[in-house]
Chains A and B, each alone.
Chain A
Amino acid sequence: MKAKTMHPGTAGIPLEAQRVLQQIETRKAKYKRNMFIAFVILIAFMTISLIVLGLDFKFMLKWLPFVLAGSGYTFLVAFLAISLACILAVVGALGRLSKNPIFNSIATSYVSLIRGTPLLVQVYMWYLALPQIGKALEGYGIPGIQRILTLPAVPAGILALGVCYGAYMTETVRAGIQSIKIGQTEAAKALGMTTTQTMKRVIFPQALRVIIPPVSNEFIAMIKDSSLVSLMGVWELSYRAIKVGRRHFQSLEMLIMVAFIYWIMCGLLQFIQEKIEKRMARGDRRIS
C-alpha cells in the first residue's frame, strides 16, 4: 500500500481507523445488549423461584399496607439520625484535625469509643441504661434528671444511630478534608481568607465531592440499621413484617416483602447519590 500524507482536518479518517471505530461501536452495543439480557434472566429467575416456592401473593398483598405503614418510622428515624450524624461528623472531623488538645482529645475518644462498641449495646445503653444514670445523678441532688434521661424508644433510637454513624462519618469527613492539597489552603490564605472562610469556601466544597460515595454508603447502611429500633418495640417496617409473619406462620412471604421494600428504598438513595455525584463532578477532568 502506498503511504499517503494525511493532513489533519482535510483528509478523511483512513479505512482501517474506521473499521476500528466500527468495532468499538459494535462491542459497546453488544455489551449493552448482553447486560440487558442478563438482568432480564435474573429477574425472571427470581420471579419463577418465588412462584415455585409457592408464595402466597394474596397474603402478601393483604398485609402490604400494614407493613408499609411502618415505613414512616423507618424514614423518620433514618432521616433524623442521618442529620444528627452529619452534624456530629463535621464537628468531629474539625475536632480530629484541631490543634486544641481538649477539642482534639474529645473527638478522638468519641470516635474510638463508639467505633469500638457494638451498635446493639449502644442502642440499649441509650434506652435502658440512661435512666439508671439519671437515677444516680438524682441521688447527687439534681432533681428531675431521671425523667429527662428516660427516653422514649424513638428518640433513643435516633440518638443511638446518629451518634454511632457520626463517629464513622467523622473519619470519612476527616479523610475528605485531608485529601485536599495544601496548595488550596495556601491560595485561600494568600487571598486573605480567615481559617473559617477557607474551610467554608474552598476546602469543604471540594471535600464534599470526595466523601459523597462513602457517605452514601453510610446512609444506605443506616436505613437498614434503623430496624434496630424495633428492639425497643417501635412498630417500624421490619418489626411489623416479622410480627405478621410469625402470627400467620408465613414468615417467608413477609420477610421477602420487607426485604424488597428496603431494597427499593436503598435503590432510591443510590439513584440520588448518582445524581449528586454527577452534579458535583463539574470541573473535574476525570469525568468530562
Chain B
Amino acid sequence: MENSRPMVKITNVHKVFTKKLHVLCGINLEVNKGETIVILGASGSGKSTLLRCINFLEEPTAGSIEVDGTVINAGEDDKTRENHILEIRKKTGMCFQSFNLFPHMTVLENIIEGPTTVLGQKKKQAVLYAEELLDWVGLTEKRDEHPSRLSGGQQQRVAIARSLAMKPKVMLFDEPTSALDPELVGEVVDVMERLAKEGMTIIAVTHELHFARDVADRVLIMDEGVWVEEGTPEKIFNNPDKERTRQFLAHIL
C-alpha cells in the first residue's frame, strides 16, 4: 500500500464563494485505499463543502482533485473536463444528510437507476445486484415500497445501497445521521461500519463520535477552511495537541 497512489488526493483546494466568503483555504488530503477518514468540525467550518468538492457538486476555485487516477485541476476548461467529472462521480458514491431518494421510484427502482441509466447495464443484471445490496442493508422486504413509506433510517440505508450499486471506489458521507431520530442512528452507523470493515474507502463528515472513535483510521479537525489537527482517533480524542481541538471536542462531547 505504501508505494501505490492514494485513492483520493486533494491538493491545495480553495473554495471562494464571494470575496468575503472564503470557505476552503488550501486544503490538502490524501486518502489511501481502504482507509476510513472522519472529518470533524463546527458547522460552517467547510467540511461539507470539501466533501462536495471531491465529486464536483461544488466546483473548487483552485487546486486539484484526484480520485482513483482521474485528475481534475480547478479552472482548467477543456472538452474532456465534463467527462472527467462524470468519471469521478461514477467512482464515488455519496450519501446526503437528507437522503435524497427519488420519491417517484420504488426502493428497487432507486437502486437500479444508476446502473441502468448511467452504466447502461441490463435491467435483469442490475436487479440481481440490487437485491443482493438490499439484503446486505437488511431491507429486502421493502423492495417494492416507495421511499415515503420508509423511516429515515431505512431511507438512508436505501440511499447507501443506491450508491453502492454503482460499485464505487470511494464513499462520501455528508452527515448521514444528522436528520435522523436518535433511535434510528444506530442502524445507519452499523451499515457504515460494515462497509468500512469490507475495505471500502470512506470519507465521512459526521458528528457520530462512536463511529469516529471505533471505525475511523484517521480523524481530521477542520476550522475556518483549514485543518486544525489530524491523527488517529486515540490521539485526537485522548490527547490532542491543539487547544482549538480541545475546545471543539469539549463542545460536542
Please tell me which one of the listed residues B90, B96, B118 contacts residue A187 in the complex, with CB atoms under 8 A apart. B96
Kindly state whether residue A194 has any CB partner on chain B within 8 Å: yes
A192 contacts B166, CB within 8 Å? yes
B148 contacts A284, CB within 8 Å? yes
Shortest beta-carbon distance from B170 to chain A in Å: 12
Please tell me which one of the listed residues A181, A191, A194, A283 contacts residue B113 in the complex, with CB atoms under 8 A apart. A191
- Give the chain B neighbours of A282 by CB distance below 8 A: 104, 146
- Give the chain B neighbours of A191 by CB distance below 8 A: 89, 113-114, 117-118, 162-163, 166
- A186 vs B99: C-alpha distance when bound (angstroms): 11
B148 contacts A285, CB within 8 Å? yes
- Give the chain B neighbours of A192 by CB distance below 8 A: 86, 89-90, 114, 118, 166
Kindly state whether residue A112 has any CB partner on chain B within 8 Å: no
Kindly state whether residue B12 has any CB partner on chain A within 8 Å: no
B104 contacts A283, CB within 8 Å? yes
What 0/1 readout, one digit per residue, does chain B (99-128) give for beta carbons within 8 Å of chain A? 011111110000001100110000000000
Within 8 A of A (CB), among B136-162: 146-149, 159, 162
Q: Contacts A197-B117, A283-B146 given: A187-B106 contact, CB under 8 Å?
A: no
- Give the chain A neighbours of B93 by CB distance below 8 A: 190
B98 contacts A183, CB within 8 Å? yes
- A90 vs B70: C-alpha distance when bound (angstroms): 36
Please tell me which one of the listed residues B98, B104, B105, B117 contacts residue A193 in the complex, with CB atoms under 8 A apart. B117
- Give the chain A neighbours of B146 by CB distance below 8 A: 282-284
A187 contacts B148, CB within 8 Å? no
What 0/1 readout, one digit per residue, does chain A (192-222) give for beta carbons within 8 Å of chain B? 1110010001100110010000000000000
Shortest beta-carbon distance from A111 to chain B in Å: 28
Interface size on B, residues (CB 8 A): 29
Query: How would you classify the secondary structure of chain A's contact residues: helix, strand, loop or mixed?
Result: helix
Kindly state whether residue A179 has any CB partner on chain B within 8 Å: no
Shortest beta-carbon distance from A258 to chain B in Å: 41
Q: Contacts A183-B96, A191-B166, A193-B118 given: A206-B89 contact, CB under 8 Å?
A: no
B117 contacts A201, CB within 8 Å? yes
Kindly state whether residue A243 has any CB partner on chain B within 8 Å: no
- A192 vs B57: C-alpha distance when bound (angstroms): 11
Kindly state whether residue A184 has any CB partner on chain B within 8 Å: yes
Within 8 A of A (CB), among B179-206: none
Shortest beta-carbon distance from A65 to chain B in Å: 45
Beta-carbon nearest neighbor of B118 in chain A: A192
- A254 vs B114: C-alpha distance when bound (angstroms): 59
Kindly state whether residue B92 has any CB partner on chain A within 8 Å: yes
- Give the chain B neighbours of A188 by CB distance below 8 A: 102
- Give the chain A neighbours of B101 by CB distance below 8 A: 187
Q: Contacts A187-B96, A283-B147, A284-B103 given: A197-B118 contact, CB under 8 Å?
A: yes
B92 contacts A190, CB within 8 Å? yes
- Give the chain A neighbours of B100 by CB distance below 8 A: 181, 183-184, 186-187
- A95 vs B101: C-alpha distance when bound (angstroms): 27
A194 contacts B148, CB within 8 Å? no
Kindly state whether residue B50 has any CB partner on chain A within 8 Å: no
- A209 vs B146: C-alpha distance when bound (angstroms): 15
Please list the 5 inter-chain residue pairs (A to B) with the smallest Cβ-Cβ separation, ordered nearest first: A283-B146, A187-B100, A285-B148, A183-B100, A192-B90
What are 6 A-to-B residue pairs whose CB atoms are below 8 Å?
A183-B96, A188-B102, A191-B162, A192-B118, A192-B166, A206-B104
